[in-house]
């Protein structure tokens, strides 16, 4: 009786908002109005609709999870500062990008490349501190807390770099400006901050930072590829869009796709943690063969990319392989101590399930959007292009996982191994197709 009364008399959703909630909402609306007034001439009708739709989405996200409000406000302020510093002098196309080498804040912090390099360093540092937390005796909580704060800062720098890169692209020349989700360099940045943000949400919800060590491993692996792609291929240079990508569909399809990729990767690392905790007490090494095999797979990336542009064996990937092998071996060797600090198996299983469920929903949306984009660009919704085929394989894999979970009660070891296999399938769909297969998506090849 009392519970019913309290429920009926509880204030409504909007009545529960405080003054800071409404101030945040007002800032989002003002920001959208300013963006519309300044850049409406460069947007078509679809892009204007996306901007309008972004306002309630951003407000809801900030109300749903309060740390995002601070992130959004801080990132927006830093990006606007960078734009103002660029705009102090003008050239033929607008702001003078040469200021990126002459202004201290731009050169070392706020230009797109500087911010993304800071993102890379901070992600590595975050990973290191999360792992220190597993082994530190009296200061484990301090190390993990620092790892979490570094992860938040890295996400902020990634977003600043992305927004400033978007602005920089429009200053290079006519018809070059575009949202930075058009090539492997840009989408790896997208993958890093999306995956980390989803992990940080679960960290907050489950009140445990122990999973950060595993979640940040896959992010650091992506950063390792990103640095190689930058140093060897010069991929950080802003390039004009190829004709196939000159579409507003890209602004929706690619982010939705990478929410799927990011959460699938997060689920796989949680599955890895699940297996480590489950096998913590196993003393017979031959029983750990599957985990050793997993270590080989995790170290496979350096072997795939070992050839540098001059045809020789890259020292970069040799070091990368050595570090990967050392990390995987260390995890297996110290699995008992690691398992002690990991959440219980039910929590790990729940995070794995929720990550896959969210990823599947967004990957489904991305696949539908991709079909609509293909119909507009190539005249057909589906062409069995290798990228499309492997996207379907990824979708079917996780559809089967969720079906077995919901209909048959799939849990535990089988679910964890299946999530890890899913990461292999997803990685091939993301990178392997670009490397080894050709088709309508060949503009994304390595």
Q: What is the pLDDT of residue 446?
A: 56
CB–CB of 227/317 below 8 Å?
Answer: no
Q: What is the pLDDT of residue 1?
A: 43
What is the model's pTM?
Answer: 0.92
Answer whether residue 209 is part of any domain: yes
Q: What is the pLDDT of residue 73?
A: 95
CB–CB of 441/387 below 8 Å?
Answer: yes
Alpha-carbon distances, residue 367 vs 12, 117, 219, 241, 263 (angstroms): 36, 31, 24, 21, 16
Answer whether residue 118 is part of any domain: yes
State how many domains the chain has: 2
Measured CA to CA, the distance from residue 167 to residue 114 in angstroms comes to 15
pLDDT over threshold 60, residue 24? yes
Owning domain of residue 33: 21-56
- For the segment 11-20, the average pLDDT, to the nearest whole number, is 85
- Let me know whether 349 and 281 are in one domain: yes
Answer whether residue 15 is part of any domain: no
- Let me know whether 50 and 121 are in one domain: no
Per-range mean pLDDT, top range of 85-94, 245-254, 354-363: 354-363
**Between 434 and 184, residue with greater pLDDT:** 184
- The pLDDT-based confidence of 233 (bands split at 50, 70, 90) is confident
Q: What is the pLDDT of residue 438?
A: 63
Answer whether residue 385 is part of any domain: yes
For the ranges 124-133, 243-252, 257-266, the lowest mean pLDDT is seen at 243-252
- Let me know whether 52 and 128 are in one domain: no
Which residues on adjacent β-strands are paired with residue 386? Answer: none
List all residues 6 or more positions away from 1 whose beta carbon is below 8 Å from its beta carbon.
none
- Let me know whether 287 and 345 are in one domain: yes
Measured CA to CA, the distance from residue 57 to residue 332 in angstroms comes to 42
- The pLDDT-based confidence of 38 (bands split at 50, 70, 90) is confident
A 10 A CB-CB count for 269 gives 26
List all residues 6 or more positions away from 390 whose beta carbon is below 8 Å from its beta carbon.
425, 428, 429, 432, 433
- For the segment 148-160, the average pLDDT, to the nearest whole number, is 98
pLDDT over threshold 60, residue 407? yes
- Let me know whether 120 and 205 are in one domain: yes
Answer whether residue 274 is part of any domain: yes
User: What does the radius of gyration of the chain's CA atoms come to, in whole angstroms?
Assistant: 23
pLDDT over threshold 50, residue 175? yes
Measured CA to CA, the distance from residue 180 to residue 334 in angstroms comes to 40
User: What are the structure tokens assigned to 351, written together?
Assistant: 């995070």
Measured CA to CA, the distance from residue 36 to residue 41 in angstroms comes to 9
Answer whether residue 92 is part of any domain: no
Find the length of the chain: 446
CB–CB of 72/58 below 8 Å?
Answer: yes
Here the contacts of 49-52 (C-beta below 8 Å, separation 24 or greater) are 50/248, 50/251, 50/252
Q: What is the pLDDT of residue 89?
A: 79
- Let me know whether 186 and 37 are in one domain: no
Measured CA to CA, the distance from residue 305 to residue 136 in angstroms comes to 35
Answer whether residue 75 is part of any domain: no
- For the segment 189-203, the average pLDDT, to the nearest whole number, is 97
- Let me know whether 171 and 308 are in one domain: yes
- Let me know whether 146 and 44 are in one domain: no
- The pLDDT-based confidence of 92 (bands split at 50, 70, 90) is low
Measured CA to CA, the distance from residue 6 to residue 3 in angstroms comes to 5
List all residues 6 or more positions away from 150 whose beta carbon is below 8 Å from its beta carbon.
122, 123, 125, 126, 129
- Let me know whether 49 and 159 are in one domain: no
Answer whether residue 85 is part of any domain: no
Reduce the DSSP state of residue 247 to 3 states and report it: coil
- Residue 362: HSE in the Cβ half-sphere, 13 Å Cα cutoff: 19
Model confidence pLDDT, tens digit, residues 281-323: 676 666 666 666 666 555 555 555 554 444 444 677 777 777 8
User: Chain-wide mean pLDDT for the chain?
Assistant: 86
User: What are the structure tokens assigned to 49, written together?
Assistant: 């609709």
- The pLDDT-based confidence of 443 (bands split at 50, 70, 90) is low
- Let me know whether 133 and 278 are in one domain: yes
- State the virtual CA torsion across 181, 270, 344, 414 in degrees, nearest 10: 130
- For the segment 336-352, the average pLDDT, to the nearest whole number, is 93
Measured CA to CA, the distance from residue 271 to residue 263 in angstroms comes to 12
- Let me know whether 46 and 128 are in one domain: no
Q: What is the pLDDT of residue 189?
A: 97
Q: What is the pLDDT of residue 178?
A: 87
- Let me know whether 256 and 344 are in one domain: yes
Which secondary-structure segment (H or E) carries 94? strand 94-95
């Amino acid at each position: 009786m009392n519970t019913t009364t309290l429920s009926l008399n509880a204030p409504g959703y909007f009545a529960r908002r405080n003054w800071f909630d409404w101030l945040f909402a007002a800032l989002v609306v003002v920001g959208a109005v300013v963006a519309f007034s300044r850049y409406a001439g460069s947007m078509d009708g679809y892009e204007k609709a996306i901007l309008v739709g972004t306002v309630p989405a951003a407000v809801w996200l900030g109300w749903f999870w309060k740390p995002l409000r601070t992130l959004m406000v801080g990132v927006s302020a830093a990006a606007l500062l960078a734009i103002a510093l660029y705009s102090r002098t003008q050239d033929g196309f607008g702001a003078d990008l040469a200021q990126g080498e002459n202004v201290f804040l731009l050169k070392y912090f706020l230009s797109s490349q500087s911010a993304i390099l800071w993102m890379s360093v901070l992600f590595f540092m975050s990973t290191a501190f999360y792992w220190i937390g597993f082994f530190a005796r009296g200061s484990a909580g301090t190390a993990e807390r620092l790892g979490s704060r570094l992860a938040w800062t890295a996400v902020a720098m990634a977003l600043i770099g992305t927004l400033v890169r978007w602005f920089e692209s429009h200053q290079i020349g006519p018809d070059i400006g575009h949202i930075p989700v058009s090539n492997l360099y840009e989408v790896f940045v997208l993958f890093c901050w999306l995956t980390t943000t989803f992990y940080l949400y679960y960290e907050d919800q489950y009140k445990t930072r122990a999973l950060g060590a595993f979640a940040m491993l896959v992010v650091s692996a992506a950063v390792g590829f990103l640095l190689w792609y930058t140093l060897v291929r010069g991929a950080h240079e802003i390039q004009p869009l190829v004709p196939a990508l000159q579409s507003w569909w890209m602004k929706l399809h690619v982010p939705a796709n990478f929410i799927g990729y990011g959460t699938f990767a997060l689920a796989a690392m949680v599955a890895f943690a699940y297996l480590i905790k489950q096998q913590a007490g196993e003393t017979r090494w031959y029983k750990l063969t599957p985990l050793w095999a997993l270590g080989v797979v995790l170290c496979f990336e350096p072997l795939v990319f070992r050839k540098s542009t001059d045809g020789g064996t890259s020292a970069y990937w040799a070091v990368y392989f050595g570090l990967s092998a050392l990390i995987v071996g260390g995890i297996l060797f110290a699995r008992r101590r690691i398992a002690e600090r990991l959440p219980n198996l039910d929590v790990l299983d729940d995070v794995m399930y929720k990550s896959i469920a969210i990823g599947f929903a967004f990957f489904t949306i991305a696949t539908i959007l991709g079909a609509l984009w293909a119909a507009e660009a190539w005249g057909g919704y589906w062409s069995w292009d290798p990228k499309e085929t492997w996207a379907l394989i990824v979708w079917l894999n996780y559809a089967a996982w969720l079906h077995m979970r919901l209909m048959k009660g799939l849990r535990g070891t089988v679910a964890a191994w299946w999530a890890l296999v899913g990461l292999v399938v997803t990685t091939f769909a993301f990178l392997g197709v670009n490397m080894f297969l050709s088709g309508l998506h060949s503009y994304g090849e390595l």
